[in-house]
Amino acid sequence: MCEVRKQLIQISTVKDHMLYHAEEKPHVCGVCNKSFRKKYRLNEHMLLHTGEKPHVCEMCNWAFRLKEDLNRHMLIHSGEKSLVCKVCKASFRQKGDLNKHLLIHTGEKPHTCEVCNKSFRLKAVLNKHMLIHSGEKLHVCLVCNKSFRQKSDLNKHMLIHTEEKPHVCEVCYKLFRVKGQLKVHMLIHTRAKPHMCEVCYKSFRQKDHLKVHMLIHTDEKSYMCEVCNKSFRRRSNLYRHVVVHTGEKPYICVICNKSLRRKSSLNEHMLIHTGEKPHVCEACNKSFRVKCDLKKHMLIHSGEKPYKCELCNKSFRQRYELNKHVLTHTGAML
C-alpha cells in the first residue's frame, strides 16, 4: 500500500476514535435531527425514514435495513449454535445472546435507571422502562390514533384492526394474534408450570402470575386511592376501583348498548352474544364463559373446600354455601 495512503487511513481512524472522547456527533439527520458520530451510522438511520430494506435473504426473501441484521437472520437457516454457556450448556447463535444469558447466572444488572435506581440486566429493557418516567408514546396507530410507548405494542395493536391471527396452536389449531399468547396457551397442553414461588413452592404457568402471587407474601400495597385511601397490590386493581367513585362506565357493548366499568367485564359480556365458552376443564372438558366459573368447577374434581366456618370448622366449596351456612348459627331466616 502507498505510504501516503496508509498515513491518511491512520489519520482518519484516529479522527474517528477521537470523536468518542469529544462526544462530538457531527452527522445530523435532516428529518428528525438525531446526530451520529459516523457518516455510515447516519446512512443506516436514514433507512428508517425511507423504509428501505436493501439487504435481502436469498433463502426466504426476508429483507433487512442493516447487513448485520441479515447476518444474524442467516443463522436461523443454518441452525448453527456454536456458542455454549459453560454453566448450563445452553447454546446460542450470537455472542451478544450468550453474554445476555450469562447475566442470569451472575445475577448482574449493570443498567440502572437514573430516576428510580431500578436495575436491569439488559439495556433494551432499561430503555423501555425509561418511557414510564417520560410518559412518551411515539408510536401512533394510523387507524384509531391510539399511541404506544413501544413499536412492538403498536404492531400487536394493529392486529386488532386487521383481525389477523398468524400464530396457530399445533395441538388444537386455536389462533392467536401474538406469539406470546400462543406460548402461554401451549402450557395448557403441556400442563407445565415453570414459575415456582420460593416461599410456598406454589407453581404458575406465567411469570406475571407468580409476580402477583409474591405480593401475598410481602403484603405490599403500594397503589393508593386518593379518594378513600384504600390501597391495592396492583395498579390495574386501583384503576378498576377508581371507577367506583366516578360512576363511569366507558365500555359499551356494540350489540345491546349495555355499558360496563371494565374492559374485562365487556369482554366477558360479549361471550353471551357469541356463545363462546373459552375456559375448558382439563378433567372433564366442560367449558365455561368465565374463568372464575371454571375455578369453582375445578373444586369438584379436587375435592378442595377452601371456605371454612369459624364457628364450627365445617368447610364448603363455594363462598355462598358458607354464607348460607353461617345463617344457621345466627338464627337469621333463610
Q: In sequence order, what DSSP letters do the residues of 51-100 get, joined into one string? A: ----EE-TTT--EESSHHHHHHHHHHHH----EE-TTT--EESSHHHHHH
pLDDT for residue 17 is more than 70 = no
Closest CA to 200 of 184, 190, 215, 221: 215
Count up the domains in the chain and report the number: 1
The mean per-residue pLDDT over the stretch 65-86 comes to 77
Query: Is residue 319 domain-resident?
Result: yes
pLDDT of residue 183: 80
All three cell numbers of 224:
393508593
Query: Is residue 200 domain-resident?
Result: no
Residues 232-261: pLDDT tens digits?
Answer: 877 778 877 887 888 888 888 888 888 888
Query: Which range of residues forms the domain containing residue 318?
Result: 307-333
Query: Is residue 5 domain-resident?
Result: no
For residue 101, count other CB atoms closer than 10 A to its CB: 17
- Those residues whose C-beta lies under 8 Å from the C-beta of residue 328, and which sit 6 or more positions away, are 334
Q: What is the b/e burial string over 286-319, where b = at least 16 CB atoms within 10 angstroms of the residue's CB? A: eebbeeeebeebeeeeeeeeebeeeeeeeebbee
All three cell numbers of 146:
391510539
Closest CA to 175 of 190, 160, 164, 162: 164
Between CA 66 and CA 30 the distance in angstroms is 20
Residues 90-142: pLDDT tens digits?
Answer: 777 778 888 888 888 888 888 888 888 888 888 888 887 887 777 777 788 88
Between CA 50 and CA 233 the distance in angstroms is 45
Confidence of residue 334 (pLDDT cuts 50, 70, 90): very low
For residue 26, count other CB atoms closer than 10 A to its CB: 12
- Candidate ranges 69-73, 141-145, 247-251, 325-329; pick with highest mean pLDDT: 325-329
Query: Is residue 322 domain-resident?
Result: yes
Query: Is residue 107 domain-resident?
Result: no
Note the pTM of the prediction, 2 decimals.
Answer: 0.31
Closest CA to 289 of 309, 305, 265: 265
Query: Is residue 209 domain-resident?
Result: no
Query: Is residue 317 domain-resident?
Result: yes
pLDDT of residue 10: 54
Query: Is residue 55 domain-resident?
Result: no
C-alpha torsion 290→204→239→140, nearest 10: -90
pLDDT of residue 58: 83
pLDDT of residue 146: 82
Between CA 301 and CA 295 the distance in angstroms is 10
The mean per-residue pLDDT over the stretch 288-313 comes to 84
pLDDT for residue 86 is more than 60 = yes
